[in-house]
Amino acid sequence: NLYSSVMTSLEALGVSVVVSAGNDSMAVNTPANCSNVIAVGGLRHTGTQADQKRSGGSAEAGMRAN
């Protein structure tokens, strides 16, 4: 897969890639599900998962929306 190849090449160069997990409440897909990326999703101001955030256990971090 092209995304995976690019992410692996970037990691070899020492680049950290951060991508959105997505916004349609479905499973996380490319490029967020590639190895060597940091996938982030949205959280409410209370710290709970935003309704539209993708799920499936693949998001590694959450960012609170103010």
Condensed to tens digits (0 to 9), the pLDDT of residues 24-59 reads 667 778 888 888 888 887 777 776 666 655 555 555
Residue-wise burial string across 2-12, b where 16 or more C-beta atoms lie within 10 A, e elsewhere: ebeeebeeeee
Long-range contact list for 8-13, CB < 8 A, 24+ apart? 8/35, 8/36, 10/36, 11/36
| Position 11 pLDDT exceeds 70 | yes
C-alpha torsion sign, points 31, 32, 36, 41: positive
pLDDT band for 12, please (50, 70, 90 cuts).
Answer: very high
